[in-house]
Structure 1
Amino acid sequence: MRTLLTTLLAAALAVTAATPAHAEPAEPAAPTDDQVEAQGLAGRFDLPRRGWANDVLRSGTPERVGLDPAAIGTALDQVRQYTVPDASGHPLFSGAVTLLVHDGVVATHETAGWAVRYADATGTELPEADRVPMTPDTIFDLASISKLFTSIVVMQLQERGLLDLDAPVARYLPEFGVNGKDVITVRQLLTHTSGLEPWLPLWSRYPDVASRIKAVMDVAPKNKPGTVYTYSDLNLITLGVLGERLSGKKLDVLVREGITGPLQLDDTGYNPPAAKLDRIAATEFQTGRGLVRGVVHDENAWSLGGVAGHAGVFSTARDLATLGQAILNGGRYGHARILEPDTVRLMLTDFNQGFPGNAHGLGFELDQRWYMGALTSPKTAGHTGFTGTSLVLDPLSNSIAVLLTNRVHPTRTWGSINPARRAVANGLAQALAVRPRRGPTSWTPTTAGGTLTTPDLRTSGGRHTVSFSAFVDLDPADKVVLESSNDGSTWSDLKTLTGYGDRRWQRVELETEPAKLYRWRYVRGAGYGGRGAYVDAVRITDDHGLLVDGERDGLRADGWRSANR
């Protein structure tokens, strides 16, 4: 034993001596793939993760990471259907690339429709032989997802000690501190609480790049800084200029040196080269510009030379997922680190709690059910782009949903693609399992107003104790209500379950006056929905003992079904 201890101690000392003094501090290790599998975490929605992941993307299948392929297939079918003309006479979008990741495994990377489909702005379709199909490596104009790249650049400068998030922007850009903007902070720009208006028509109102930037520097706030949330391109245009001023480098260089280069995002950047044009999805037919393809769609970014803080980045689904995984990893991807863990934590912290419904970190949007769907939680992060792009990062399940479309091809007037965004996020959420707490199955509602009812109870033993396990991940408009009745027609509310339940099963227990019947009633509201609700391990007792055991005694399901995940 002494010999073994001596050997181990010598080995430890040798490792310590070999570690350079400037080595990066060790971080708590995320579970390995084997540990994830051994601990039953893979493919689970009801076992939220804590801490950072440590994954590098690799190709695989839904089954490899415990996902339900049927749920993903349903989502992909919906995306494909959106590329088919509907009653309006046109599809929701020309084409799409969908990529879903769980635990670092690319579970699906599918295409639908066309990268180039139309001959003009009215929607005249090209002959099929002249169209360009979507491919997994199609390059898209990310539009406002570009704001994430600018935000990361700003946070990298903060890490280097070159700026203070709570300092006035005018400290670094004196020309910005006019017309009431002298108190606006860097943090307020990142969280869209600066009070600036959403945008200015820079491209049409001002003659050159210098005058367009000056217009942003000169603009007066629309609202008192810090009092309202207003999503504004001007915030990020300003941050792009700030980054250039502090570093002495152009924004595209900062993005290349600080993000795309270290992460080896070879298809990501501004103003893509002509050699890649055949792989780039077309966007809109614009007056004076014709078919916009391979050049940024946003007119203001175009007028600024294609490089701007609010728009201009092009990328593929795989590259964008790589950036997303780096964020889920706490700023590291493989051997490359682009941000420190504490910085990523700040970027994913809601600083807008005073503006309900507009949760926002430093650059990242948070908790936005309108496009994050059933993956939504207070920790879910992401961003969308006007051209039809979206990125959703779910730290609680170590999952990523990417949907890239060219929805503005041939025109921006054909409507919102938010239903498609939610369908993709919902598909990934539904593919993740909610496992029963007791026995082989639990109960989950399938229809609004559905009920799950106990058998008739015959009891003379005093008050009842009703206990059950519940999993609730619902839109705020939805609820599950436990009710009691003595005649089957008049029901009294006993307990209401709603909202976000921290993605964990909870044990509910309450004492009540004896009743003949108990039921769980699901009420579907007018919201976007959530992952759902589950009831399991039902037990009802009185002073004499057990009256109902849900695993043994039949529960009457109307609009509910048994589920094993």
Structure 2
Amino acid sequence: MGEPTIGGFCDDRFDTVRRVFEQNVSSGEELGASLVIDIEGQTCVDIWGGFRDQARSTPWTEDTVVNVWSSTKSILALAALMLVDAGELNLDAPVARYWPEFAANGKSNIEVRHILSHTSGVSGWEQPFVLEDMYDWDKSTTLLAQQAPWWPAGSAAGYHANNQGHLIGEIIRRITGQCFKEFVTASIAGPLGADFQIGARDDDWGRIAEIIAPPPFDIDLAALDPDSVMVKTMAGPVADANAANSPGWRHADMGAHNGHGNARSLARILSTIALGGESNGVRLLDSKSIDRIFEEQNNDVDLVLGVPFRRGIGYALPRLDTMPSIPDGRICFWGGWGGSMTVMDLDRRMTFTYMMNKMGPGIIGSTRSEQYLRATYDAISEAVTV
């Protein structure tokens, strides 16, 4: 077992961010992780360190990738907005315009924006449904098309934790003829030269960091109403962090949670939003499509997560009582189970990304991501006042 090392580059302005990162890696609070801060298209921080595996035998290196959980949804929303940009997708149209079977069982009035903002009423699969069923695209999407919504579309938000990638992915497939992982490779990661993919090719498995499961949820689902949206979503299917290390997970196409990349690849892709639609000389969006992100769809307690979120289209928007480390402004964000985080700050033309393999408690963000974000915004504030 070797000592953890830190690699990469950090601008002096963000030395505090690096110090906090180093401290967490040295103490074992982090096992392995990467963190990037991009401002105005320039990389200010690109650091990585620690280990890929729980045995601490393999260092986390520059090309290490990891399952990024629901940070994948940030790419999913971008893909949908790209089709809006191309005139192929209308956010205010019924999902059934693109996927006719979806209209079954009272879902004809569910619009595309409802799925992107987690307000559709279809936040999980009806039972019986197990985790491995998500790997079967035809089965999982057919079941979603057949079931009834759990609340009226647009009336509330409930996190589409596991199925948003299947819902939006099927719309993308109906429009383009490509499955979601093909669309990401051909239209996003490929053009941008970003080391990101949905699932993971077999020849990349040797550089994937092992996922370390978080502590158990502090919610006793057995004590809750089995007909509640929270229970039905979390039971449809029941999550298992260790599944991310399995071949079935890596081969699947799940735009909600099985993207594989690192902080650098996520920043390269998502800086497109912070920079007005163009990153590394490649334009993916125009300003009107980016504006749609900031159309508030819901600002209330999430029926699944049990905490308040302010939701735009595809991303969360600042709400200080939920994410105090993210200031108010023209900022959108989302994160992943265990702590991964993506923040696109259009006011500062900044993109922040953090990916790790040792999962902390919580669904969105963690104590560590809060630390890094606070240090980042403190550094920016100090630079402005100097």
State the TM-score bracket (shorter-chain normalisation): 0.7 to 0.9
- Return the match for 1:263 from 175, 181, 192: 192
SS of alignment partner, residue 261 of structure 1: helix
User: Which of the numbers 73, 81, 84 marks the counterpart of 1:158?
Assistant: 84
1:183 is matched with which residue? 109
SS of 1:429 mapped into structure 2: helix
Distance 2:95 2:288 in 1: 22
Deviation at 1:424, TM superposition (A): 0.5
> In 2, distance between residues paired with 1:280 and 1:427?
28
For residue 44 of structure 2, the aligned residue among 107, 110, 114 is 107
Return closer, same or farther for 1:295/1:319 CA change in 2, 3 Å cut-off.
farther
CA–CA distance in 2 between the matches of 1:311 and 1:291?
Answer: 11
Shift >4 Å, 4+ stretches: 204-208, 284-292, 294-297, 353-356, 368-373
Contact map agreement 1:190 1:362 (CA 8 A) in 2: yes
Q: Where does the alignment leave 5 or more consecutive residues of structure 1 unmatched?
A: 1-58, 85-90, 118-125, 409-413, 437-563
State the secondary structure of the residue aligned to 2:47. Answer: strand
1:320 is displaced (CA, Å) by 0.9
**CA deviation string 1:16-53 (max 9, x = no partner):** xxxxxxxxxxxxxxxxxxxxxxxxxxxxxxxxxxxxxx
Instruction: Work out whether residues 237 and 309 of structure 1, in 8 Å CA contact, stay in contact via their aligned partners in 2.
Output: yes
Q: Percent identity?
A: 22
Kindly indicate which of the two structures has a greater share of residues assigned to helix.
Answer: 2
For residue 248 of structure 1, report the CA deviation from its aligned partner. 1.5
Q: Aligned pair in 2 of structure 1 residues 98, 371: CA closer, same or farther (>3 Å)?
A: farther
2:35–2:264 Cα contact (<8 Å) kept: no
Displacement, 1:72? 2.3
RMSD across aligned C-alpha pairs, in angstroms? 3.2
Q: Which residue of 1 aligns with 2:258?
A: 312
2:150 is matched with which residue: 222, 227, 236? 222
Q: How many residues are treated as equivalent by the alignment?
A: 345
Q: How far does the alpha carbon of each residue in 1:283-304 deviate from its partner, in whole angstroms, 9 at most, with x for none?
A: 258999988547575xxxx6xx
Counterpart check, 1:134 vs 2:91: no
1:253 aligns with 2:202: no
Is the Cα contact below 8 Å between 2:329 and 2:347 reproduced in 1?
no
- What is the CA-CA distance between 1:379 and the residue it aligns to? 1.9
Residue pair 1:189, 1:236 contacting (<8 A) in 2 also:
no
Deviations 1:417-440 (A, max 9, x none): 61101101001111123589xxxx
CA displacement 1:294-343 (0-9 Å, x = unmatched): 7575xxxx6xx511231222112111111122111111123311111211
- Describe how 1:262-301 pairs up with structure 2 within 5 A: 262-265=191-194, 267-284=195-212, 292-293=244-245, 295=247
Query: How far apart in 2 are the matches of 1:435 and 1:133?
Result: 33
Query: Of the two structures, which has the highest relative contact order with CA contacts closer than 8 Å and spacing of 6 or more?
Result: 2
Larger radius of gyration: 1
**What is the Cα deviation at residue 390 of structure 1?**
1.1
Report the Cα distance in structure 2 between the residues aligned to 1:279 and 1:206, rounded to whole angstroms.
Answer: 24
In 2 relative to 1, CA 382–78 (structure 1 residues): closer, same or farther, beyond 3 Å? farther
Aligned to 2:224: none
Distance, in Å, in 2 between the alignment partners of 1:116 and 1:220 is 42
Which one-letter code corresponds to 1:332 in the other structure?
A: E
**Which runs of structure 2 are paired with 1:395-544 in the superposition (5 Å)?**
395-408=346-359, 415-416=361-362, 418-434=366-382
Conservation of the 8 A alpha-carbon contact between 1:99 and 1:317:
yes
TM-score normalized by structure 2? 0.79
Q: CA contact under 8 A between 1:146 and 1:313: conserved in structure 2?
A: yes
Aligned partner of residue 71 in structure 2, secondary structure:
helix
CA contact (8 A) 1:144 1:385 kept: yes
Letter in 2 for 1:106: T
Alignment of 1:304-343 (within 5 A): 305-343=251-289
The question of whether the paired residues in 2 share the 8 Å contact of 1:140 and 1:405 is answered with: yes
Alpha-carbon distance change, 319 to 252 in structure 1, aligned in 2, over 3 angstroms: same
Question: 1: distance between equivalents of 2:335 and 2:104?
Answer: 31
CA contact (8 A) 1:61 1:105 kept: no
Describe the superposition over 1:453-500 as per-residue Cα deviations: whole angstroms up to 9, x where unpaired.
Answer: xxxxxxxxxxxxxxxxxxxxxxxxxxxxxxxxxxxxxxxxxxxxxxxx
CA distances 1:262-287 after superposition (whole Å, capped 9, x unpaired): 2111x211232333223211125899
**Which runs of 5 or more residues in structure 2 are unaligned?**
1-7, 214-237, 303-307
Amino acid at match of 1:329: L
* SS of match in other structure, 1:237: helix
